[in-house]
Structure 1
């Protein structure tokens, strides 16, 4: 035991204890020796006295240092109770670091989630647009298929309009099916007209002419026109805006339907 006491007194544990630099285990060891060994208690008191003297020297001006030191030596020893420094526990630091890491990670995950949601919304919109386009294309294909079926129907008759000298480049095709009573016309080429004029298609009946509609080259697709049961001929004429009569129209193409009746 004397050896342990000797080793203790030769160590710096007392100084560290007074300065508050010992760990919890080291503090318990120092307090054990002070409580159980007079030599350790005496050494502790002497260190406290010396620390008090040094503290007083640092607290006065230089000209009075010597007098204050002598006065301090004559006074009864006073023990300066130093509170050990409380260092921040390692688990508190770890908890703080974990909290910061958790917050940063949560923010990053939130940002990533927001970006993914935005990308998902874009994908959903694109899929919706794609489905809409597919539906429109399917609808167009259905219409085209139906039109092709009408054109390929053996009961459908094909009539080609060729323009006269007034419209040499005019070419239009009519498809008439007397069985299902449908008429369609396909505009291929129409010579350009002044703004106030347009092309009209007419059906000639036994006692009158019937206007079946306006032809426009910009509408280059099969166009449904009214089916006329007793039509003798079809003709294309140049009409004037605001004039729906047949009197002043100029005929540029005609086909006869008499042979097909």
Structure 2
């Protein structure tokens, strides 16, 4: 409700109501806020007071000789005269006050409009920043949840760790595989991979009893735990150099291998 009251006070309804330009629905809304909210009543009283000051400031003083002229004319018997109170026609004070009030109202309305626009722009910026912040928080929470799940998998007592080092063809190669035969999950962590020509990449393979199965491509840019297919009866894991676009790598390009039976 405080937000609605703040919006009402920043609107132009009190000014419109004061000068009689508010519609029936707007007048009902203004009267409701004045009756139910002290802040609205005080704001309305302040506007009335300011308008009264403006009206008084534009008032025209009555000439000092008017009263003496009237008394003098009344003392002269049997004569009917038209007493000229003011020699020159002057604009009535209420017209001046009304004009001043209209000018002040226009200026005030414009300033309030500008202020409201600035507040709306600032509110929109704040809302966008809040949404961006919430989005960042959600993304960070999602990353933390994912990291927590990965750590839980690594810390699982059933998980087995296999460090895969490169042979003479790729001495700087190093990856770590985590295999959980109970949960039937496999993950690999790329630590270092020697750079290859643009038309080649590293592939990880699983050796079964009678065949080799391609488990996917390894990329050093993906420096995080990466899930790979779990192979129930895999005897070993090997890393080969493959040509991009060729899924069936039958050449002898093996650069690393590790047996999965050593820890059973």
- Is this a same-fold pair by TM over 0.5? yes
Counterpart CA distance in 1 for 2:99 and 2:187 is 82
> Among 130, 153, 166, which residue is 1:150 paired with?
153
Structure 1 residues 249 and 234: CA distance shift in structure 2, 3 A: same
Q: Mind listing any 5+ residue stretches in structure 2 that lack a counterpart?
A: 1-62
Please point out which of 107, 111, 128 is paired with 1:108: 111
CA shift, 1:235, in A, is 0.3
- Paired position in structure 1 for 2:70: 28
What CA RMSD, in Å, does the superposition of the two structures yield over aligned residues?
A: 2.5
Q: Compute the displacement of 1:94 (Å).
A: 2.1
1:161 is matched with 164
Alpha carbons 1:174, 1:184 under 8 Å: kept? yes
- Does the CA contact (< 8 Å) of 1:240 and 1:249 recur in 2? no
Q: Report how far residue 168 of structure 1 moved.
A: 0.8
Of Structure 1 and Structure 2, which has the larger fraction of its residues in helix? 1
Q: Which protein has the larger Cα radius of gyration, Structure 1 or Structure 2? A: 1
Give every structure 1 segment of 4 or more consecutive aligned residues whose post-TM-superposition deviation is greater than 6 Å: none
Map of 1:10 onto structure 2: none
Q: 3-state SS of the aligned residue for 2:164?
A: strand
**CA offset at residue 97 of structure 1?**
1.3
Q: C-alpha offsets along residues 13-40 of structure 1, whole Å, 9 cap, x if unaligned?
A: xxxxxxxx88764553454355x277x9
In structure 1, the residue matched to 2:135 is: 132
Alignment deviations for residues 117-150 of structure 1 (CA, whole Å, 9 cap, x no partner): 1000000000001001101110111000000000
Q: Deviations over 1:34-88 (max 9, x none)?
A: 5x277x98xx9xxxxxxxxxxxxxxxxxxxxxxxxxxxxxxxxxxxx9x942212
CA distance in 2, matches of 1:127, 1:141: 21
Q: Which residue of 1 aligns with 2:239?
A: 236
Kept after mapping to 2: 8 A contact 1:235/1:254? yes
**How many pairs are equivalent?**
201
Q: How far did 1:259 drift?
A: 2.3
- Which residue is equivalent to 2:206? 203
Structure 1: 5+ residue stretches without partners? 1-20, 45-80
Q: Which residue of 1 aligns with 2:100?
A: 97
TM-score (norm 1): 0.71
| Match of residue 215 from structure 1 | 218
Q: Distance in 1 between matches of 2:97 and 2:133?
A: 52
What SS is found at the alignment partner of 1:151?
helix
Moved more, 90-99 or 248-257: 90-99
Deviation at 1:103, TM superposition (A): 1.4
Under a length normalisation based on structure 2, what TM-score does the superposition of the two structures give? 0.70
CA pair 223-23 structure 1, distance change in 2 beyond 3 A = farther
Contact 1:239 1:249 in 2 (8 A): no
Q: Deviations over 1:198-235 (max 9, x none)?
A: 00000000000000000000111110000000000000
